[in-house]
Amino acid sequence: MGDVIRTTPLIIKLRELYPEAKFTWITLTPDILPKTDIHEVLDFELKNILYIQKVRWDLAINLDKDREAGALMDEISAKQKFGFTLKDGAMQPINELAHHKFKTGLFDDVSKANTKSYPQEIFEICGYEYQGEPYLLENHEDKGYKWDLDKSKTTIGLNTGCGDRWTTRLWSTEKWVELIKLLQQKNANVLLLGGKQEDERNQELQKLTGALYFGYFPLQQFINLVNQCELIVTQVTMAMHITLGLGKKIVLMNNIFNPYEFNVTEKYGTIVQPDKACKCYYRGQCVDGISCMENLYAEKVYEAIEHVVNIS
């Protein structure tokens, strides 16, 4: 879903190039896309796949390296194709434009040497130059959600989880407590964020610190809650994509990924990393047994927050 969000700048570029065009997007996560900006948003299911296969398209783009996406791309009839396709039973770049992105997904040394953000890479795959086109994400302010927040204070959202795939990103409860107390000393609204997986941890943090925690919510409501914050502190996870999609300020905690990948410009925030160099590039478990995230101290994250927003 995060990759869908950070692909939306392409729609802005394509609308500029083809103002009379009709845009169709087929995806496993259609609910995340703004329906006002895209004519057809389709779920990846049989009836829609059959429809996609029977239309003669002018332009087809697939940035996904999963086999089902590549298989559909191979079946699509289009005058021009960009991205990746299934060929001889394996995913392959369609043309030379996609070779760089293809190689970064295969070889760690190529990936670590990369200095391009994800939007830069996907624009280049399509033969365009990325010029800061923003993400497209609805904030759902029209849904009538109500939040008990003191608007006279700066609201700082803390997204405390990161999913199961790369748990090497997790920050300890002790570090979150330290950060919360530093923010509370500045009289900030400290708002705990997360999904069902983070519920137990967030309840514990609320008991230990008195930080605000409203629970976990369906996607649209969660997006709207993030939109109430002036700044979000998060690891590389879904909340990061939502924060950037909404154009909110961010302090991104990163350890196991190439920081150039994330479109965190000075306009929107900053990236903080552990003082200890991380050995676990794209790994789900720490090779040393003790996560380098324990060398990312609360004071460093707090200073990054103060650099981005005026808390007091």
Burial class, 300, CB count within 10 angstroms (exposed 0-12 / middle 13-18 / buried 19+): middle
Rounded Cα gap, residues 243 and 193, in angstroms: 12
Which residues neighbour 233 within 8 Å (Cβ) at sequence distance 6 or greater? 156, 157, 158, 159, 179, 250, 251, 253, 301, 305
Rounded Cα gap, residues 183 and 178, in angstroms: 9
What was the pLDDT predicted at 263?
A: 86
What was the pLDDT predicted at 284?
A: 63
What was the pLDDT predicted at 217?
A: 96
Cα-trace Rg, the chain: 21
Beta strand pairing status for 40-43 and 24-27? parallel
How many C-beta atoms lie closer than 10 Å to residue 21's C-beta?
12
Nearest to 24 by CA among 1, 53, 67: 53
Provide the whole-model pTM: 0.91
Q: Going residue by residue through the chain (312 aa), what tens digit of pLDDT does each one get?
A: 999 999 999 999 999 999 999 999 999 999 999 988 899 999 999 999 999 999 999 999 999 999 999 999 999 999 999 999 999 999 999 999 999 999 988 888 888 888 999 999 999 999 999 999 999 999 999 999 999 999 999 999 999 987 666 566 678 899 999 999 999 999 999 999 999 999 999 999 999 999 999 999 999 999 999 999 999 999 988 999 999 999 999 999 988 788 888 888 888 899 998 887 765 666 666 666 667 777 888 999 999 999 999 887
Rounded Cα gap, residues 116 and 85, in angstroms: 22
What was the pLDDT predicted at 162?
A: 75
CATH code 3.40.50.2000 region(s) in the chain: 153-308
Residue 190's alpha-carbon distances to 145, 180, 246, in angstroms, are 19, 7, 19
Backbone angles phi, psi at 283, to 5 degrees: -105, 150
What was the pLDDT predicted at 35?
A: 87
DSSP H or E run through 11? helix 9-17
What was the pLDDT predicted at 259?
A: 83
Residue 55's identity, in one-letter code, is V
Backbone angles phi, psi at 302, to 5 degrees: -60, -45
What was the pLDDT predicted at 306?
A: 95
> What CATH number labels 153-308?
3.40.50.2000
What was the pLDDT predicted at 258?
A: 82
What was the pLDDT predicted at 298?
A: 92
Rounded Cα gap, residues 180 and 222, in angstroms: 21
How many C-beta atoms lie closer than 10 Å to residue 221's C-beta?
16
What was the pLDDT predicted at 147?
A: 97
- Token pair of 140 as six digits: 């759902």
